[in-house]
Structure 1
Amino acid sequence: MDAATSAVAQGPPPAPRVETRCQGESRGRARCGCALNLVLLLAVTVTFAGAAYRARRRPRDLAFVAAAYYLLALLLCCLAKLGLLAADPSADGEAQRRRVRLAAWAVSAALGATFASRVADAMPLLALKLAVWGIAAVFLGVGLYLFFCCQDAGRCAAELGPGQDAARPPAKASHELAPEEMA
């Protein structure tokens, strides 16, 4: 009786977890994405090490390579954090997403300015140097606009299919239509 009483008190045993095909595929994609990110990080690190080795006797070049590598790694961390925060719909999550967006834009602005200064130094004419800085400023302005003014652009693009307009509701697939709607 004691065993039966304790079994009733504990409740029914948990049902075995059945993994659907979609859950398995998403795990496989996550593993593949993680492996791809690891391979890309390894490739960037090897490239950085080669560039640092070639610039070892020129302190200015070495500082540029190190700063570019650091800023690129920091930008990838900001974007990964932004991706993690995308699923949090709370007001606190929105405030945190805004701060991370600002950090990502600031890091991308620093990275763009670093590359623009390097390219502008290689230009022979003042007009070309000013053109490089002008193009960098335009791209940074576009990045600022996309990060802060188009907050719902990513969600809208994900919800719409290819060739669909945001003003029209999305069309239903033929297997979703009722027989009377098909005619």
Structure 2
Amino acid sequence: MEREQRGGADGTAVLVRTGLIALTLTSAVSAYRAAAAGDLASTAFVAVSYASLLLLFRSLRAYERLPPPWEAADQRARLRREVWALCTLLTVLFSWKVAAAMPSWPVAAAVWAMAALTTAGGYAALFHGP
């Protein structure tokens, strides 16, 4: 029984590592192509997005490993704030890129409105939910 549970955890660890390797490789290729083209804004976008995702994954993993809520309430609150801030940063970054590619300003405004609603919904879920 214990071996089956450990095997499932090992399978999950392999998937996580594979995903992180894929994320790292695609980010490196994207940053290289943007830098080779002389596009500093895109290079910065890739670097900040990649770093933010790594920090988000680290924060979520730390949250998963915390002791029960009654023992680590302060740590949980800090990690919730950290997760929300990183998710908000990523939402803003991707909205910026998507809105810039939209054909007209009303469509770009709709992208930003959806980003604002997503951010507000995340805040409500993390800080005012059950």
Shared fold, TM over 0.5: yes
Counterparts of 1:40-119 in structure 2 under 5 Å?
40-56=19-35, 57-85=38-66, 87-91=67-71, 93-119=72-98
Shift of 1:111: 0.6
What is the aligned residue count?
128
Q: Which structure shows the higher helix fraction?
A: 2
Shift of 1:124: 2.8
Shift of 1:103: 0.5
Residues of 2 paired with 1:38 and 1:90: CA distance?
Answer: 31
Shift of 1:58: 0.9
Residues of 1 paired with 2:33 and 2:86: CA distance?
Answer: 26
SS at structure 2 position matched to 1:25: helix
Counterparts of 1:99-178 in structure 2 under 5 Å?
99-151=78-130
Segments ≥4 residues shifted beyond 4 Å: none
Shift of 1:74: 0.8
Residues of 2 paired with 1:25 and 1:145: CA distance?
Answer: 38
Tell me the TM-score normalized by structure 2.
0.92
Report the aligned-residue RMSD.
1.3
Residues of 2 paired with 1:113 and 1:24: CA distance?
Answer: 43
Bigger radius of gyration? 1
Residues of 2 paired with 1:72 and 1:136: CA distance?
Answer: 17
Tell me the TM-score normalized by structure 1.
0.66
Identity %, equivalent residues = 35
Give ranges in structure 2 of 5+ residues lacking alignment.
none
Shift of 1:146: 1.6
Give ranges in structure 1 of 5+ residues lacking alignment.
1-20, 152-183
